[in-house]
Each structure stands twice: as C-alpha cells, then as structure tokens.
Amino acid sequence: MFLKQLETVGFKSFADKIDVQFVPGVTAVVGPNGSGKSNITDAIRWVLGEQSARSLRGSKMEDIIFSGSDTRRSQGYAEVTLTLDNEDKGLPLDYEEVQVTRRVYRTGDSEFSINKETCRLKDIVDLFMDSGLGREAFSIISQGKVEEILNSKPKDRRVIFEEAAGVLKYKQRKRKAESK
Ligand code: ATP
Ligand code: MG
C-alpha cells in the first residue's frame, strides 16, 4: 500500500484545488516557513479521521477551512481526497486503488466517502485501523510528537505499540462486545 495522490480544495492555506502526486520511494516537500508544508500532513491526518482541532493546530474544526486573504475570499468548505495504491491489499478492500474523501462545511456538516460511496467517519477510521496509517498510528510523526510520545503515560504509549502490532482493532471490538 502506498500514498498515490492528495487532492484538496479550501483546506487551510490551499484556497484552490491542489493535486499532489506521490511515487513509490521518498518524497520531500520543501518550502519557506509558513508556506504550507505541515498543512499537507494535517490534510492527510484529517482525511484519515483526525477529530481533534487542536492536533490540527487550530482551536475549532472550522479553522481548517481557508479563511481568505487580501486577494481571495474565504471558502465555504474544505475537502481532502486521498488516493492509495492497494494492489497488495494492505487495506481490507477488494480494490486496487482506494480513495477516501472528507468534506466539512462552515455549518459543521460533514461528508465522508470511500471510493465515492458515502460512508460514516467510523467506516474510514475502521478501514485504516491496524493498517499502519490509522488515526493513532505512528506513520505520521508531526513536530512535537516525539516529545509527546516520550512524555506520555505508559498506558497511552501502549496504544501506539498496539496499533503498530495490529491488535488495536481486536481490543476495541472486545471492549464494544463487553459493553453490550
Ligand atoms: P514551517 O516551516 O514553519 O513548519 P510550514 O511550511 O509547515 O512552515 P504550515 O504550518 O503548513 O507552514 O502553514 C502555515 C500557514 O498556513 C500560515 O501562513 C497560516 O496562516 C496558513 N493557514 C492555516 N490555516 C489557514 C486557514 N484556515 N486559512 C488560510 N490560511 C491558513
Ligand atoms: Mg511545519
């Protein structure tokens, strides 16, 4: 499984549609301070299910919608689409390519889809859980995260190892079954 493409409209500093293509191997994103490098990783974490505005470096979810500039009007919504190559069936879906989309309006309304079929946020979170790309995964290490991991309580740190080992899904299912 690898990341093939990231498309966004109205996400943070990206007012217009941007289309980033990745190829297998290493991709480096370079640019001056404040040019939007971290916004790219924020977009990836958001479409994969991030629900904390703070961890996306804002105070409320609306902060991820392009807020306008001297020359541009603000946007009414933010949308991110991530395309993954799934030839190796790293994601448990019978498709060679998997596309997930998330959109949020200023009203707070959200839309989610997997391969253009409307779904719930939970479906996206479940799809990526234990894939190594999940919401709790170790695959995206943002600025400050290393420190956070080192300073976290053993119980919280354990979640990171459980996701890496692929057992988080089963633990959550067990907890859900027990609560019924
Ligand atoms: P550094 O090298 O300092 O880490 P960076 O390239 O990672 O910088 P980002 O943090 O990705 O930069 O981008 C920050 C920029 O995004 C700021 O200029 C900020 O004003 C802009 N920005 C964030 N949210 C929005 C928004 N909702 N609307 C418009 N611009 C936004
Ligand atoms: Mg940055």
For the domain that residue 27 is a member of, what is the CATH number? Answer: 3.40.50.300
Q: Which ligand is nearest to the CA of 40?
A: 1
Return the closest-CA partner of residue 17 out of 31, 26, 5, 2: 5
Total domain count, the chain: 1
| 30 domain residue, yes or no | yes
Confidence of residue 173 (pLDDT cuts 50, 70, 90): confident
pLDDT at 145 over 70: yes
pLDDT of residue 149: 82
Confidence of residue 130 (pLDDT cuts 50, 70, 90): confident
Confidence of residue 156 (pLDDT cuts 50, 70, 90): confident
| 114 domain residue, yes or no | yes
pLDDT of residue 135: 66
- pLDDT, one tens digit per residue, over 36-89 is 999 999 999 999 999 989 889 999 999 999 999 999 999 999 999 999 999 999
Q: State pTM to two decimals.
A: 0.86
| Number of Cβ within a 10 Å radius of residue 111 | 14
CA dist., res. 170 & res. 134, Å (int): 14
| 180 domain residue, yes or no | no
- pLDDT, one tens digit per residue, over 80-103 is 999 999 999 999 999 999 999 999
pLDDT of residue 55: 86
Per the prediction, the chain carries an average pLDDT of: 91
| 28 domain residue, yes or no | yes
Which ipTM was obtained for this model? Answer: 0.98
Token pair of 152, please?
A: 């976290």
pLDDT of residue 96: 97
* Ligand 1 pocket check for 112: Cβ under 6 Å: no
106 or 164: which carries more pLDDT confidence?
A: 106
Q: Can you name the residues that pair with 14 across neighbouring β-strands? A: 11
| 141 domain residue, yes or no | no
pLDDT of residue 137: 66
| Nearest protein Cα to ligand 1, atom 25 | 12
* Ligand 1 pocket check for 31: Cβ under 6 Å: yes
Domain limits for position 97: 2-129
153-176 CB burial, b ≥16 within 10 A, e <16: eeeeeeebebbbeeebeeeeeeee
| 38 domain residue, yes or no | yes
* Ligand 1 pocket check for 35: Cβ under 6 Å: yes
| 172 domain residue, yes or no | no
| 179 domain residue, yes or no | no
DSSP label of 56: G
CA dist., res. 12 & res. 63, Å (int): 7
pLDDT at 107 over 90: yes
